[in-house]
Structure 1
Amino acid sequence: MSTPKTRIMYIEDKSDSLNGPARIGRVAFSKTGRSLTYAGRTFQSLDGRGFKANYFDVETRDRFWISGPRRDGQDRLYASAQPVLIDDDVAEEYWTIIRGLNWPRD
């Protein structure tokens, strides 16, 4: 059995508003690439049929924007005071490889 392809992605919950809780984390893609998993949840592609969302949680039907993180860190479509959380297991790789910056350890 092959290991699923993984990638660090930006994940924003759009179920309650256009500015929802967001984080940077590692997702695993299905063999076809039409679905992905993150934190025990499975997300299915909306295939371009979503408004400000491109995936939905297959269990709750909540909508999400999931995309590759931007080098400049401006991942949110709309400005928000809510912080974008970064999972501990990807923090160093995110800051040094994706952002090209020194890792700001806490």
Structure 2
Amino acid sequence: MDFSKTWSTAYFHRRTLRRAGGMSDANFYDVQTDEDFWVSGPKRDRTDTRYGPANPEIEPEAVEAYNAFLKGAPLPGRENG
């Protein structure tokens, strides 16, 4: 997933997601389909899902970075904060 410089737009699997305010079950929406999404970063305690304990689905290209993050490395693109 990539974000715009202002973090108001996310790009994921050829979708453009815009940050949405005032939505109770989503914080982004697809600009083409109006489908709602909840976008959140990983957590080192592995409570990555929004509702209850569950194992998150990790995109294959993100597995290495996710495992490094769990061991203490910063997230790619967030090395300085």
The TM-score bracket by the shorter chain reads 0.7 to 0.9
How many pairs align? 72
**1:88 partner amino acid:** P
Alignment-mate amino acid for residue 36 of structure 2: R
CA contact (8 A) 2:18 2:31 kept: yes
Look up the match of 2:65: 93
Which residue in 1 is equivalent to 2:31? 58
**TM-score of the pair, normalised by structure 2:** 0.75
Q: Which ranges of 4 or more aligned residues in structure 1 deviate by more than 6 Å?
A: none
When the two chains are superposed, the root-mean-square deviation of aligned CA atoms in Å is 1.9
| Aligned sequence identity (%) | 33
In the alignment, the residues of structure 2 paired with residue 80 and residue 50 of structure 1 have an alpha-carbon distance, to the nearest angstrom, of 23
AA aligned opposite 2:51: Y
> Normalised by the size of structure 1, how large is the TM-score?
0.59
Higher strand share: 1
Gaps of 5+ in 1: 1-26, 102-106
Unpaired runs of 5+ residues, structure 2, are 73-81
